Amino acid sequence: MQDDFATLSRVMNSRYSCRAYMEKEVPDADIQAVVTAASRVPTWCNAQPWHLIVTKGDATKLFSNALVKAAEDGPMAPDFDWPEQYTGEYQNRRRVCGYQLYEALGIPREDRERRNEQMLKNYTFFGAPHVAIVTSEADLGPYGSMDCGGFIAAFTLMATAKGISTVVQASVTGFAPTIRKHFDIPANRLVQTAISFGYEDAYDPSNNFRTQRAAIDDVINIRS
């Protein structure tokens, strides 16, 4: 079992948010294997509320075109409200992540044009050949979202174990009405998130930094 722990830890520690991809597509069989394995996560009453729409080829390009147009035309309208604010340690972690990205790309803080160009890459999925839209039944409320969160984490880990890189993108789901219309998603299903994935471009500078994690004493309090 120690070997299992070490193996899973290596996968966990190698996972990161990939922001540049090669054009090569992931075989359907590997996508299905990742989803099958990720579906073993625990859920409330074994509800397994997630459903995925996965794009490839022209479907990815058409979806990207729709998102870019939505981003140019109007404000976001996510199915879930964005956080009201980030404060304290949460704000600090958010800022550090942004600083690391722009430093890796050589984009100075005052260069708003290049920062905006980088932001818009969210809607071309950073060049990923695939994007998975994750939805859940609206009636399941926050518990459905919690279950989907477990699945999303497992998806990224199982993908990493197969040499597939991922990035989970809340920014994409900011345009939920566009997503719902584009894929004909019923009104009773909530757009939870998007996962762009494919094979990393290891030479792109945006993939050359890693975010840090909180110290163990900051996240656990063992009592007796």
Residue 2: predicted pLDDT: 76
Residue 44: predicted pLDDT: 96
Q: Is 72 helix (H, G, I), strand (E, B) or coil?
A: helix
Domain segments of the chain as ranges: 19-83+123-203
Cβ(129)–Cβ(25) under 8 Å?
A: yes
Cβ(152)–Cβ(195) under 8 Å?
A: yes
Mean pLDDT of 152-165: 99
Residue 74: predicted pLDDT: 82
Question: Over the stretch 42-94, which tens digit does the pLDDT of each residue have?
Answer: 999 999 999 999 999 999 999 999 999 999 988 999 999 999 999 999 999 99
Q: Read off the tokens for 160.
A: 């990493």
Q: Side by side, which strands form the sheet with 51-54?
A: 51-54, 130-137, 189-198, 165-169
Give percent of the chain with pLDDT exceeding 90. Answer: 97
Question: Over the stretch 82-102, which tens digit does the pLDDT of each residue have?
Answer: 999 999 999 999 999 999 999
Mean pLDDT of 194-214: 97
Question: Over the stretch 117-156, which tens digit does the pLDDT of each residue have?
Answer: 999 999 999 999 999 999 999 999 999 999 999 999 999 9
Residue 1: predicted pLDDT: 72
Burial 97-114 (b: 16+ CB within 10 A, else e): eeebbbeebebeeeeeee
In whole angstroms, how far apart are CA 180 and each of 7, 55, 164? 38, 14, 27
Cβ(192)–Cβ(50) under 8 Å?
A: yes
pLDDT tops 80 at residue 3: yes
Mean pLDDT of 6-31: 98
Region 19-83+123-203: CATH code: 3.40.109.10
Q: Mean of the per-residue pLDDT values for the chain?
A: 97
Mean pLDDT of 5-21: 97
